[in-house]
Structure 1
Amino acid sequence: MKTRLIIPLLTAGVFCSLYAFKNNPSDRSTDPPTTDANNAGLKLPAEFGALIVADSIGKARHIVVTKEGNLYVKLAKPVKEKGIIYLKDKNGDGRMDEHTGFGNYGGTGLYLKDNILYASSNDEVFSYKLNESDEVLDQNNPSKLITKLKKGRQHDTKSIVLDNSGNIYVNIGAYSNSCQEKDRTPGSPGIKGCPILDSAGGIWQFKANKLNQSYGDGVRYATGIRNVVGLDWNQQNNSLFVMQHGRDQLNGLWPDLYDEKQSALLPAECLYMLKKGDNAGWPYVYYDQYQKKNIQAPEYGGDGKKEGSKEYINPALAFPGHLAPNGLLFYTGNQFPEKYRNGAFIAFHGSWNRTPEKQEGFYVVFAPFKDGQPTGEWEIFADGFAGTDNVMSPRDAKHRPCGLAQGPDGSLYVTDDVKGTVYRILYKGK
C-alpha cells in the first residue's frame, strides 16, 4: 500500500510542475539551449557553440539583453515604422518567438542601465523606462535627452554608453574623411584648424537624466576621433574605451606618397582608452601599426614617415586597417573560461577600402585585459559570418557582425546588419 500511495503522489507532483511551466512563463527552463548542429555557420574555439536566436528582423545594429534574457535591438532603418525590435523567448528554448517593436526612427546606439533603455537616432538620444518584466512602459512617449546633434552624409551614427556617475557619452562622427578643403579630392590640402572639430569628430558627455540637452549643455569629452561605432565602459579601471574607424584613401588621394598595398593596410583601426580632454589627433595624424607611432597626415604636410605631434594620445591596441570595428564589449560574465574575464570582444564589420586587396573583417575578435589594460595578443574568436573566405567586396558577405551584448547567463550575443540575424554564442565545456 505504501508503494501505491507514493506513486500517485509523485505523478501528481510531476503533473503540477508541468502545469505550472505551461501557465507561468517565469518558470521556463534554465538549462542552456541546444546549439545549432553547424554552430550557425560560425567557426569558434573548441567547446563553444552557437545558435541563431532571431533572423530577418532588419538591419540590426547595437543590442542589449535584459535580466530576463530578452532582447532589444536597434535597427539602422525602421521596419514597418519600428526602429527598436523587442525579442522575447516565451518557451525557454533559447530562440526568440515573440517579435514586437516601437520607435519610428533609425540609428545605431542602444544601452541598458538601471532599468532604463537608452536609444539614439542619428541626431538625438532618447530614454525609456522599463517595468519589472523588462518591458518598455510607454513606447510612444520616450524622454528626449539630447537633440540637434551634428550629422552629415558620412559617419552620422550616434553610439552611446553610460558611466557609473550618471553621465552618457555620445559619439559624433566627423562628416569628412580627412578634413580636406575639398573632401576626398586628390591633392586637396587639409583645412587649418579643422572647424569640424567644434561639433563633431569626438565624444561628447551629457547628463543621463536631463531633458533636451544639446552642445551647450554637454562637454566635449575627447576630440580628434574620426568616427566611433563600438564603445564600452570598462568597469575595472572606470574608463571609457572606443574603437575608431581610421581614415580612407591614402593611395587614392596621395598616390605619390602611398602605393595600393600601403593604402589597403593603413592606418590602424585603434582602440583608445579616453580620459577627459584627450586628443587622438584626427585629422592631423593617423596611427601606423607597423611604425608603432602617430604619423603626420599628408593633408597636413606628412610624407608617410614624418612623426606627428606628441600632444596626441596613442592607442591601447592597434588592429589592421579598414576592418570597420562596430561593436565593443568588455566581458564580465562567468560562463566563459577565466581567460575571457574582463577582456574585450570587438565586432569587425568589414569595410570597402582594402581594394584591390581581399577585404578583411567580418569576424569577432578577443583581446585579453587585466586591470583595465590589454595584456596580450588579440585573436579571432568567431569567424565565418561572411559565408566565404574570398570577400572582394563587402557585398560578397552574407552576414556582417555589428553589435555585441552579454546575456545574464554569460552568453555572447552578436547582431548582423545585412540579413538581420542575431547569434548567441555559449561555452559548452565544464
Structure 2
Amino acid sequence: MKKTFKLTLPALAVAGALFLNACNSDSKKATTTDTLTAGSDTTQTEAGIAVPEGFTATIIAKDLGGTRHITVSPKGIIYVKLGKPNKDGKGILMLVEKDGKAEVKAAFGGYGGTGITIKNGYLYASSNTEIFRYKLNDADEVADTAKVEKIVTGLLDRHQHESKSIVLDDAGNLYTNIGAYSNSCQIKDREKGSLGKKDCPILDSAGGIWQFKADKPNQTYKDGQRYATGLRNVVGLDWNKQDNQLFVMQHGRDGLHDLFPDLYTVQQQAELPAETMYALKKGDNAGWPYIYYDQQQHKKIVAPEYGGDSKKEGDAKFIDPVAAYPGHLAPNALLFYTASQFPAEYKDGAFIAFHGSWNRAPEPQAGYYVVFQPFKDGKPNGEGKVFADGFSGSPENTAKGAATHRPCGLAQGPDGSLYVSEDSKGYIYKISYKK
C-alpha cells in the first residue's frame, strides 16, 4: 500500500533541502524566494522515493555501474553512459524495457564519460576528450557497434570538471561543455589568499560551451567555436525549443571562507554562491572566474580573487542568470519536458537533477533530488519545487552527505514518462503519471 503524506518545510529542511528559486521572467536578474514550497501532497512509492500525488515511480534497472547521463529513443530503447567502462571494458549500455524492467541487451564503446543523446537517427556519446556517434537502425538500435564516427577529438581534460555533456539543436549543431580545470582561476588553485590570474588563460580552451557541426568527423578546437564563456562547470544542459535557445546549469565555485576568511564566514561559504541557470546566446559571457552570483543579495558579486569584498557588484557586461538555487547542490542534468503525459503545468517546464552537496558544513548537506522549474514563454516562471525526493535513503543520510543514490541523468520517454539515472549504485527510475 502506498503512503501519502505532505512534504512540509521543516521535514525538508532536516533533509537539507533548502531551496531558493529564481523565477521572475519579466526581469533580467534572477530573483529568489526565501522559503521552500514543496507543493501538493506526495506519495511515497515502492521505488523508495516521494513524488507528487498521482505519479508513480518504479526502479527498472539496478547495479549497472556509474550510470551518468541517459537518453531514450523514439521507440523506447534506453541508452546509458557509464562514467567508467564496466568490467568488460564497455562504456555505453543499451537496454530494452519490458514488463516494468529494463534489461541490458548490448554494451559497447570502450570509454567512460557522461554525455549521451539521440538526434536525427544517431546516438551521440562522449568521453572526457571526444564525442562519437553511432547510426541507429529502424528499431532504434545500434546494430553495428564497431561502425562509429569520431565527431570531435582533442578536447581538454585536466582531471577537474572533465565531463563533456552534449546536446544538439535543430540546425545541425552540437554543443558541449568544457569545464574549467580550476575553482576560481587562482595563481595557485585552491590556496588560501592566492589571487586570480589576470585575463584568466583557462578561458581560451575551457570554462565555457563550444559549438561544433553535428555531422563533420574529426573536428578539433580549430573547427569549432567558443559559443559562450565564463562558465565554471556545466554538467546539465538542454535545448529549449520554445525560444530556440540553449539553457545550462552551472556548478558554482567553492571555498569562499577557506580561501578568504577575512571576507566570508563559514555560514556564507556553506550557502554561497548560487547554482545558476543561464539562457545562452552566441557570444555570451557568464563571468567566471571574475564574478559569482549571490542569491541572497540578488546580485553578481566580484570574486575575492579579483578584488571583491563580498559586496562589490560585478560588471554589467556579464549576463545574469535566469534562475538561481542554493549553493553546492551540484545540478547534473537539465531536461525540458515536452510531452503530454504529465499534467498541463509541466509542459515545457524544466526538470533538474541535483546530485547533492559535500561542502555545506556547518549546515546539513542538501540536494539528492529532482526539482521541477515551471516555465512560461521560454523563461522560468513561478516557484520551483522538489519533484522527486528520497534518493539519499533518509533525512539523516542527506544531512551527513551519505546518500545511497545520487540523481545524475534525466530523459523523457516516448510515452512521456521521466527516466532518472543515478551514479552511486547504477539504478534507473521511471516516473509516470496516471490520470
- Mark yes or no: TM-score above 0.5: yes
2:159 to 149, 153, 156: 153
**Equivalent residue, structure 1, for 2:143:** 137
**Equivalent residue, structure 2, for 1:306:** 312
| AA of the residue aligned to 2:70 | I
**Equivalent residue, structure 2, for 1:164:** 170
Q: Report the alpha carbon displacement of residue 100 of structure 1 after superposing the two structures with TM.
A: 2.2
**Equivalent residue, structure 2, for 1:11:** none
- Structure 2 residue 359 is matched with structure 1 residue 353: yes
| AA of the residue aligned to 1:88 | V
Residues 149-197 of structure 1 deviation map (CA, whole Å, 9 limit, x = unaligned): 1111210000000001000001000000000000000000000000000
**Equivalent residue, structure 2, for 1:223:** 229
Q: Report the alpha carbon displacement of residue 97 of structure 1 after superposing the two structures with TM.
A: 2.9
Q: Report the alpha carbon displacement of residue 48 of structure 1 after superposing the two structures with TM.
A: 0.6
**Equivalent residue, structure 1, for 2:270:** 264
Q: Report the alpha carbon displacement of residue 393 of structure 1 after superposing the two structures with TM.
A: 4.3
Q: TM-score, normalised by structure 2?
A: 0.89
The answer on whether the counterparts of 1:350 and 1:361 sit within 8 Å (CA) in structure 2 is yes
The answer on whether the counterparts of 1:347 and 1:365 sit within 8 Å (CA) in structure 2 is yes
Secondary structure at the aligned position of 2:257 is classed as: helix
- Structure 2 residue 59 is matched with structure 1 residue 52: yes
Residues 345-403 of structure 1 deviation map (CA, whole Å, 9 limit, x = unaligned): 00000121212221111000001111211110100000000001123443x10000000
- Structure 2 residue 405 is matched with structure 1 residue 399: yes
1:84 to 74, 92, 96: 92
Q: Mapping of 1:354-369 within 5 angstroms?
A: 354-369=360-375
Secondary structure at the aligned position of 1:150 is classed as: coil
Q: Mapping of 1:216-295 within 5 angstroms?
A: 216-295=222-301
The answer on whether the counterparts of 2:62 and 2:426 sit within 8 Å (CA) in structure 1 is yes
Q: Report the alpha carbon displacement of residue 37 of structure 1 after superposing the two structures with TM.
A: 8.5
For 1:164 and 1:243, the matched residues in 2 are separated by 21
Q: Mapping of 1:315-326 within 5 angstroms?
A: 315-326=321-332
Q: TM-score, normalised by structure 1?
A: 0.90
Runs of 4+ in 1 over 4 A off after TM superposition: none
The answer on whether the counterparts of 2:45 and 2:51 sit within 8 Å (CA) in structure 1 is no
**Equivalent residue, structure 2, for 1:19:** none
Secondary structure at the aligned position of 2:332 is classed as: strand
Give the alignment's Cα RMSD to 1 decimal: 1.1
1:329 to 310, 329, 335: 335
For 1:51 and 1:378, the matched residues in 2 are separated by 24
Secondary structure at the aligned position of 2:50 is classed as: coil
**Equivalent residue, structure 1, for 2:110:** 104
The answer on whether the counterparts of 1:123 and 1:147 sit within 8 Å (CA) in structure 2 is yes
**Equivalent residue, structure 2, for 1:63:** 70
Q: Which has the higher contact order (CA 8 A, sep 6+)?
A: 2
Identity of aligned residues (%): 63
| AA of the residue aligned to 1:82 | K
For 1:68 and 1:310, the matched residues in 2 are separated by 46
Structure 1 stretch displaced more, 36-45 or 334-343: 36-45
For 1:273 and 1:245, the matched residues in 2 are separated by 15
Question: Where in structure 2 are there 5+ consecutive unaligned residues?
Answer: 1-42
Question: Where in structure 1 are there 5+ consecutive unaligned residues?
Answer: 1-35
The answer on whether the counterparts of 1:83 and 1:104 sit within 8 Å (CA) in structure 2 is yes
Secondary structure at the aligned position of 2:313 is classed as: coil
For 1:392 and 1:153, the matched residues in 2 are separated by 28
Q: Mapping of 1:351-430 within 5 angstroms?
A: 351-390=357-396, 391-394=398-401, 396-428=402-434, 430=435
The answer on whether the counterparts of 1:128 and 1:137 sit within 8 Å (CA) in structure 2 is no
For 1:59 and 1:82, the matched residues in 2 are separated by 12
Secondary structure at the aligned position of 1:82 is classed as: coil
For 1:163 and 1:153, the matched residues in 2 are separated by 28
Residues 271-303 of structure 1 deviation map (CA, whole Å, 9 limit, x = unaligned): 000000000000000000011110000000000
For 1:241 and 1:175, the matched residues in 2 are separated by 22
Higher-helix-fraction structure: 1
The answer on whether the counterparts of 2:44 and 2:51 sit within 8 Å (CA) in structure 1 is no
For 1:41 and 1:392, the matched residues in 2 are separated by 18
| AA of the residue aligned to 1:316 | V
